[in-house]
Amino acid sequence: MSDSAGISIGLLLFPALTQLDLTGPYEVFVRTPDTNVHLIWKTRDPVVSDRGMAILPTTTFSTCPKLDVICIPGGPGQTDLMTDENVLSFIRARSHQARLVTSVCTGSLILAAAGLLKGYRATTHWASLDQLSLLGAEPVNERVVRDRNRITGAGVTSGIDFALTVVAELYGAEIAQNIQLHMEYDPAPPFSCGSPRMASTAQLPKAKEQSAAFIEKRRQATIKAASNLLRV
């Protein structure tokens, strides 16, 4: 069952995740009235992000309450979860019970590896967007994508936009707007280069080159996960 009071939101916490994929939405969700937010992993031991931040889970797979919303963040550690049946089974079970099934960044690839985005429109980080199609999803180059009860956010910083969208769905636009105001979420980046659409003709090839080796590693993990899905 859900927690005794309010809506229950669970965010998957895993080694080598990108912390802002999790902490951006977390900051929005914990400001929402009558909402219980859980950080979930296999154990209660500290989990270290890809950049070295240690974060404490608040519950485990075995003790996690029923979730109204499940959210899967992304990050380099995502590749190891694509074939981790313990993780995928937990996500499937909780997603079947949830009102909203969601992700940020490459967390959508984990959802897809669990078979939860087949036939759904979804997004992820721009560098891996094409990989969603390998898992039966329809890639959409938008910051937040809604398809039925699936809501997915694009790369890293989109997690705040994503979370405000989720709050508006659950509680209405007025509460979401109030949270946005209190957070002073009023982006005015110093440079106009935060997406492939805005980056210069010199910046984008350089960024792709810098991440090429890891993107190929992620692609191989996605291909393996897609093969596993065919056997399910």
Question: Which residues, 6 or more positions from 170, have their beta carbon under 8 angstroms from its beta carbon?
Answer: 7, 32, 68, 69, 99, 100
The sign of the CA dihedral 72, 77, 82, 86 is negative
Using alpha carbons only, give the angle 226, 22, 50 rounded to the nearest 5 degrees.
75
Active site residue 64: no
| Total H helices, total E strands in the chain | 7, 11
d(CA 187, CA 208): 25
Q: Which of 64, 71, 105, 193 is catalytic?
A: 105
For residues 9 and 59, is the Cβ–Cβ distance under 8 A?
no
Question: Which residues, 6 or more positions from 47, have their beta carbon under 8 angstroms from its beta carbon?
Answer: 13, 14, 15, 17, 41, 54, 55, 56, 57
- 102: phi then psi, degrees, rounded to nearest 5: -140, 165
Instruction: Name the residues annotated as catalytic.
Output: 105
